[in-house]
Structure 1
């Protein structure tokens, strides 16, 4: 009997506290593909909020904990429904551990970390989820972290194009930032809101019912603008789309 693919899942702060169904739907999809999914309840944050705010010592403490929590040698992969957090672990951790005695341990872990859709398409070789069905038209938002930090672009689109009843259309400036950027949205509220407005207007121009992305943080920001302005569109994480209909 072939050995199951063992996956440790990392559930980011946003997903854990505000969108737990997205984490559950990721597990649903992974298990449907024959993965053995493990969850370490000791896990917390990747440290990105502290790191981006300039609190490097605090970020290092969180990174140390992350490294300890996900250094299980029996695990083959670490998968998260967030390109933002994956980008943090893959890229920023290099600065954190570059002069640390834990660098070798980090390098071993770094090779295992994947964003959810990236894992499906690049590791499992899957571009269609059996039974996935959702009627409607959607447009895809390339999050900055997915596109620029992780090089993710074609994979999510391939997965969405194979969802039964789902029509995928491209919006103008789909690679432009949504305006969230973590602390950016707090420090530069007016600019952040204007960027969300532009993104939602571009999505509405396609006639889409949904804005889909890999990152709950972007979607939360856009949904807040949509709700406040009462716009006829809603956001969905790609894991929720792929888990629909079955």
Structure 2
């Protein structure tokens, strides 16, 4: 489990409680049923309108994916591809058939199988790039839900605030007295508070985390494509290594060089 995700989801709650209590208030001061309905139900309705219902239903699964620590190891993937390159250069592509059966990554397995089957290099590249495009489209769809939430819930919070202000001002005009300003303003602003917490405490950070996970997956799949095409082209393992380590920052390049050596 990626322990930072649940921690970062709990911290905003703790920070808000600390701010309320240390400021001399109480949790009850921030609880207002009408404000919760306007912000929560209004924002949720707009969110469902802006996205397919099936995508909304799949949101808990996306959050569950965030809780799992990513298994991407770019350095090890490069080392694996270099070993495939060496073997294929010595004995031919067909000798990789047994190695492919042991590959656990579906994307790498698919690409290597296409190569061993003698598929045209341009077709291999197109198939794998299409796979990546579809993965990106699925990730974008889920991320859009959280990005929409980050804009829609604060907007409904502002709507609730405007409703509260109108009611407060009308009560003042009807002889409610200036003592109604403080309590009326407080209730009016609670909806904005709810929307801001949802957006900045949860929706935007989750959207950012999903983007980071996608970038990591896109990086390792880019390494796979480059390695697969280089193996198919019969490139020298040293050339394969130089191509693939260019994807990595200097510290990780050193790790690959130490394990692979100057091949």
Larger radius of gyration: 2
Aligning the two structures, in what range does the TM-score lie when normalised by the shorter sequence? Answer: under 0.3
What TM-score do you get using the length of structure 1 for normalisation?
Answer: 0.24
* Structure 1 or 2: more helix by fraction: 2
* Structure 1 or 2: more strand by fraction: 1
Greater RCO (CA < 8 Å, at least 6 residues apart): 2
What TM-score do you get using the length of structure 2 for normalisation?
Answer: 0.23
